[in-house]
Amino acid sequence: MLIVPPREIPASEITPPSAYLRRREFLAGAAGLGLGALLGPAAAAPLAGAKSPFSTNETPTPRADVTSYNNFYEFGGGKSDPAARAGSLTTSPWTVEIDGLVAKPAKYALEDLIRPSALEERVYRMRCVEGWSMVIPWIGVPLAAVLARAEPLGAAKYVAFESLVRPQEMPGQKGLLQLLPWPYVEGLRLDEALHPLTLLAVGLYGETLPNQNGAPLRLVVPWKYGFKGIKSIVRISLVETEPKTSWNLQNPREYGFYSNVNPRVDHPRWSQATERRIGEGGLFARRRPTLMFNGYADQVAGLYAGMDLGSYF
């Protein structure tokens, strides 16, 4: 395997916040002029960040697969629905509320919450509970840095996340297409949320997030099944008790709160021992063994010392 050492990116190569946000304003303006259709939902702004040493050196999944094979039920339940339908989502302006057990609750404009000088590129493996995986070059900031700004109080034990509810732009939130109760909600234990691997992503493949991947802000927790990566986040709440999570509400027997990638704990309807890497020869590709904590055991196993992971799945 080719090991590429992390490259230091000079500050001059990193897109300043103002530039990427001006580009978003330009796109919003262009949409008003009817140019949006011309530019298309995939017209993303460049983003950069030095490559984090937390990155895997596995070959990234082709961008075309990462942006066309998605789960985002606000736009329907089919893998191609998000890419086909999420272009309708307005992602600028965007506000994120941080509230609950914090000394400084606040509503932040996205550009005030995420400082582009803090952006990093992290190439992470993603294992979906459905049995497939991808390798994605994310761009984002550690969630811990964002939470620190709100100053969590001692009583805070968990972090609850909430996605956007906007049925007029999200066809999966109205009528017969509704497959889940809205908003989509997720949660982490506070120590999981503060772990340095936990990322709030604003981009992938060197550009702002395509809508179908959760624009403009989503969670990435690489040692948990992909559904923990809540998309289009509008609220982050510090709370005392374990938060509700969408898939657990939908089917508690099949989806637990922890959702750690674990080849030894099968889904009630299928094995979790192996996975199919998207972009590698379709259904006939060799299946890879799934790794404990998706390969991040050295970093995160300690968080679960003494816990029965068969019960806390």
Q: Which CB atom, from 73 or from 258, has the smaller least distance to ligand MTE?
A: 73
- How far does CA 187 lie from the centroid of its chain? 12
Q: Report the site for ligand MTE in 191-210 (rule: CB under 6 A).
A: none
Under 8 Å between Cβ of 185 and 138: no
CA–CA gap between residue 62 and residue 82 (Å, rounded): 17
Q: Does 73 bind ligand MTE (CB under 6 A)?
A: yes
Q: Does 257 bind ligand MTE (CB under 6 A)?
A: no
Size of the chain in residues = 313
- Of positions 197, 230, 261, 300, contacts ligand MTE by CB under 6 A: 230
- Of positions 41, 60, 140, 226, contacts ligand MTE by CB under 6 A: 226
Q: Which CB atom, from 114 or from 128, has the smaller least distance to ligand MTE?
A: 128
Q: Report the site for ligand MTE in 267-286 (rule: CB under 6 A).
A: none
Q: Does 229 bind ligand MTE (CB under 6 A)?
A: yes
Under 8 Å between Cβ of 8 and 121: no
- Tokens linked to 181: 């109760």
Size of the site for ligand MTE (CB under 6 A): 16
- Of positions 94, 184, 255, 296, contacts ligand MTE by CB under 6 A: 184
CA–CA gap between residue 75 and residue 116 (Å, rounded): 29
CA–CA gap between residue 227 and residue 230 (Å, rounded): 7
- Of positions 15, 70, 91, 245, contacts ligand MTE by CB under 6 A: 70
Q: Does 128 bind ligand MTE (CB under 6 A)?
A: yes
DSSP string across 282-293: GGGSPPEEPPGG
Select the span of 16-24, 40-48, 65-73, 107-115 touching ligand MTE (CB under 6 A): 65-73
3-class state of residue 204 by DSSP: strand
Select the span of 47-55, 66-74, 92-100, 235-243 touching ligand MTE (CB under 6 A): 66-74
Q: Does 163 bind ligand MTE (CB under 6 A)?
A: yes
CA–CA gap between residue 70 and residue 146 (Å, rounded): 26
Q: Does 213 bind ligand MTE (CB under 6 A)?
A: yes
As a whole number of Å, the CA-based R_g of the chain is 19
Select the span of 20-28, 44-52, 64-72, 294-302 touching ligand MTE (CB under 6 A): 64-72
Q: Does 74 bind ligand MTE (CB under 6 A)?
A: yes
Q: How far apart are CB 170 and ligand MTE at their closest, in Å?
A: 9
- Can the peptide bond before residue 60 be classed as cis, meaning omega within 30 degrees of 0? no
Q: How far apart are CB 227 and ligand MTE at their closest, in Å?
A: 4
E strands present in the chain: 50-51, 95-100, 106-109, 120-127, 132-142, 158-163, 185-189, 199-204, 207-208, 218-220, 233-239, 274-277, 288-289
Q: How far apart are CB 134 and ligand MTE at their closest, in Å?
A: 6
Interface residues with ligand MTE (CB under 6 A)? 70-74, 128, 163, 184, 213-214, 226-227, 229-232
